[in-house]
Amino acid sequence: MKIDKNLGEEFLKSYYESDVWRHTTFLGIHIAKSVADLWNYQEILFNLKPKLVVEFGSHKGGSALYFASLLSQIHDSYKVFSVDISHELLADKVKNNTNIELLECSSTDSKVYERIAKLRNSFSGPMFVIVDSDHSKDHVLKELENLRTVTKTGDYIVVEDGIVNGNPVLADYGVGPLEAVEEYFLKYPTDYTRDEKRENKFGFTFAPKGFLTRN
């Protein structure tokens, strides 16, 4: 069954502007993602079976806990590596989870990618990455360019919040994640393949053109 694209976009705009995503929680902790994307992520993780999930943008930690909870159903040994410039808002439940590793710095800092490379040695197999920190185009583009150094064939990357800058919400936001992905593909057209089937599965997503598999 194919969901009408126009209806999906109308629903996405209504969903976003309702602020329901500001009041969505996982085990009592705020998780600022759409429910459609969350369901997609659990399907992707089950199929991909990564032992390492990398998250740029921790916020209160709901998504880090969500990913850790999913991985616990797939592997005995796994790691969620979550990066943000500040972890002051993190819930204690997240800080105390030994399967979640936290790093407080910019997601473009070189030490982030040095740590990812080391974690890959300990947690073999494909990696799943969520790009959801600073949504400015330049920042997201830098994240993607840095990820080139640590990603491998078969890895799965999701670039969230490409919906800003009128795509279709927050028309005055300025260029953001979607424009970063588009520019990245102009520079490195063979790095990734868009997973359009996954992107369109539920009719709306916070990550347009952002479901990517590493070639």
Closest CA to 135 of 103, 113, 167: 167
pLDDT at position 20 is 96
* Residue 2, pLDDT above cutoff 90: no
* Residue 7, pLDDT above cutoff 90: no
**By residue range, what is the domain housing residue 69?**
5-214
Secondary structure of 68-130 in HEC code, one letter for each residue: HHHHHCCCCCCEEEEEECCCCCCCHHHHCCCCEEEEECCCCCHHHHHHHHHHHHHCCCCEEEE
Return all residues near 152 (Cβ < 8 A) that are at least 6 apart.
120, 126, 127, 214
The more confidently predicted of residues 61 and 7 is: 61
The more confidently predicted of residues 73 and 3 is: 73
Instruction: Go through the chain and tell me how many residues it has.
Output: 215
With 0.75 as the threshold, say if the pTM is over it.
yes
* pLDDT, the chain, mean: 96
pLDDT at position 1 is 61
Quick one: average pLDDT of 154-158?
Answer: 98
pLDDT at position 6 is 80
- Tell me, what CATH number does 16's domain have? 3.40.50.150
Angle at 59 between CA 150 and CA 148, to 5 degrees: 15
Count up the domains in the chain and report the number. Answer: 1
pLDDT at position 127 is 98
* Residue 3, pLDDT above cutoff 80: no
Confidence of residue 198 (pLDDT cuts 50, 70, 90): very high
* Residue 109, pLDDT above cutoff 90: yes
Do residues 193 and 212 lie in contact, with contact meaning Cβ atoms separated by under 8 Å? yes
* Residue 5, pLDDT above cutoff 80: no
Q: Which two tokens stand for residue 29?
A: 């902790």
pLDDT at position 138 is 98
* Residue 150, pLDDT above cutoff 90: yes
Quick one: average pLDDT of 47-64?
Answer: 98
